[in-house]
Amino acid sequence: MTIRTGLRSILAGATLAATAAFGAAAQDYPTKDITHIMPWSAGGGTDTVMRTFLQYAEEPLGVGIRTQNVTGAQSGVGTLRLMKARPDGYTIGSLTWDSMITVPYFDLVPGYDTGALSYLATVTLYPTVLAVNADTGWETLDDFIAAANEAPGEIAISNSGIAGIWHLHALDMADALDVELNHVPFPNGSAEQREALLSGENEAASVSYATVASAHEAGDVNILAVMSSERDVNLPDTPTFTELGYDVVWGGMRVLAVPAETSDEIKATLTEGFKAAFDDPEFQEIADKQGMNAFWMGAEETQAYVDKTQERAISMLSKLEEEGVITK
């Protein structure tokens, strides 16, 4: 045997051993706690919803799931960390609109590529709402429009970052209502949005209902309208923009993902665990009480929904850029 032949044999044997070891590891998976990267601040709507959901995934998966909040660049910093993680199933992450649309469109983070991720499932699908501080006295959309017309550009409406999900939706709403508003960004997430709304720092917020549900139930926040074509199950008495005569239909999603090179076996194990958690009656009860808008879509459905949403959002972003409303 020559040195070259021997080296080839050693390398081939090492490759087979590594492949066998990886296969065995995938079959045994998981054997230790899983890290969940949350790219938004603690206490916000997405953080609260996903922490709650993942508690119910621990039992079917048989291990703990530990959340790490990694914020910055409208979710881009945390999502990049997920992209760069080892594809061994021990790092998962939550994605939102900004992770899949805003960050890549504006190139907010060098090296960011959504193709480096594999979507596992959608856990919630929810419409955007127009929420206002109850002390404003505004109880209807007409009240809001009248106030905006009396003081053009003075009503402060918060969002989660310039050209992000809540900003785009608020811009589209303002255009439809033909009013001028003062758009205030909170790029670290909806927890800060909620605090600014409750303190009166901002009169209004473009946000998910889950973020302000408890404040709404306490009477501190009024929900004037929902950006949906149909009334939301959590807000049966609140009209939609559509029924009030305005074509404003927007919402968001919360998606679980892993690095793209994660094996099919590991992805299947995770998805099965997440589906079991979603179907847990206790989780469904909590989701209903907290207005989470729980909604399940598997990997293929999620990919199709994300593709469709990206197409619509990018079209709007491009239009706003042409009009000079936003710049890259």
Segments forming the whole domain that contains residue 115? 8-125+252-322
Q: What is the CATH number of the domain that holds 226?
A: 3.40.190.10
Quickly state the pLDDT bin for 25 (edges 50, 70, 90): low
d(CA 187, CA 221): 22
245 within domain boundaries: yes
- For the cut 80, the answer to whether the pLDDT of residue 3 exceeds it is no
Residue 296 lies in a domain: yes
* Alpha-carbon span 112 to 143, nearest angstrom: 43
How many structural domains is the chain composed of? 2
Q: What does the block give as tokens for 48?
A: 């609260």
Report DSSP letters for 174-216, one per residue: HHHHT---EEEE-TT-HHHHHHHHHHTSSSEEEEEHHHHHHHH
> In this predicted structure, what is the pLDDT of residue 290?
87
Question: Could you tell me if 95 and 55 lie in one domain?
Answer: yes
Q: Which of 251, 279, 312 is the last residue of a domain?
A: 251
DSSP, res 248: -
Q: Are residues 100 and 138 in the same domain?
A: no
Last residue of a domain, one of 233, 251, 269: 251
Give the pLDDT band of residue 26 (cuts 50, 70, 90). Answer: low
CB atoms near residue 192 (< 10 Å):
18
Residue 107 lies in a domain: yes
**Residue 23 identity:** G
Tell me which of 217, 251, 285 is where a domain ends.
251
Closest-CA residue to 211 (of 303, 292, 95, 273): 292
Regarding whether 258 and 231 lie in a shared domain, the answer is no
Residue 302 is assigned to a structural domain of this protein: yes
What's the whole-number mean pLDDT along residues 143-154? Answer: 98
Q: Is the pLDDT assigned to residue 4 strictly greater than 50?
A: no
Whether 327 is covered by a domain: the verdict is no
pTM across the whole model:
0.77
**Residue 170, pLDDT above cutoff 70:** yes
- Please check whether residues 12 and 118 belong to one and the same domain: yes
Instruction: Report the C-alpha gap between 267 and 121 in whole angstroms.
Output: 10
Same domain, 242 and 256: no
State the CB neighbour count (10 A cutoff) for residue 200: 11
Please tell me the distance from the alpha carbon of residue 245 to that of residue 224, in angstroms, as a whole number: 14
| Band of residue 9 on the pLDDT scale cut at 50, 70, 90 | low
